[in-house]
Structure 1
Amino acid sequence: MFAVIFKATIRTLDKEYSLYANQLRDLAMSKYGCIDFVSSCEGNQELAISYWVSEQDIARWRDDPLHKKAQLLGRDKWYVNYTVEVVEVKRSYSSERVVS
């Protein structure tokens, strides 16, 4: 399993951002095999982490035309700066308990 970690300094997030964010999350999960997608904003910082089966799925997602358009808007309008890290998940565990 792989994770994409997106960290950004927010310039401004508007209604257009919200529309793109919702549409792109749905697209990642329905068309490109994204397993999970979580994001949070605090102050002027945004953090989003998505989980994927393969690096090929991540590359296909990165190259999607709608995603490419959102990337340009992000650079020009929504973010001061951002970083993207693609990492391989070596281990995963949880504190969840099964209730019977």
Structure 2
Amino acid sequence: MINQKKSYYAVIFSSQRTDGDNGYGKMAKTMEELASKQKGFLGIESARDSELGITVSYWETLEDITSWKEHAAHKTAQDKGKREWYKNYKVRICKVEREYTIDS
């Protein structure tokens, strides 16, 4: 995971999908690969069941998040998501002050 000694930011994207893949899986993989190459990207975690999907991406600064939001390929994916892939979604941006882990 991240394990930063300083604070960082989390973008929490929760969504309900429309029926069918319609190219979503391929685009999601492409966006994850592209995001991982952006300045300030720290990592990503994602989970989805039949009703709800949650993806959390981690970034060094708010400026890095804004740059990713405005990236041309990401904007194209966002537009397609609004038109075809999502019934609804919500984005939350949070500052992470601390993190804890346990290994068993």
Q: Say whether the fold is shared (TM-score over 0.5).
A: yes
Contact 1:7 1:84 in 2 (8 A): yes
CA distance in 1, matches of 2:100, 2:82: 35
1:8 to 15, 34, 37: 15
Higher-helix-fraction structure: 1
- Is structure 2 residue 45 aligned with structure 1 residue 38? yes
Mark the runs of 5 or more structure 2 residues left unpaired by the alignment: 1-7
**Equivalences, count:** 97
Q: Percent identity?
A: 31
CA distance in 1, matches of 2:33, 2:22: 17
Q: CA RMSD in A?
A: 1.4
TM-score by length of 1: 0.89
Contact 1:7 1:48 in 2 (8 A): yes
TM-score by length of 2: 0.86
Runs of 4+ in structure 1 deviating by more than 4 angstroms, as ranges, are: none
Contact 1:6 1:84 in 2 (8 A): yes
SS in 2 for 1:40: strand
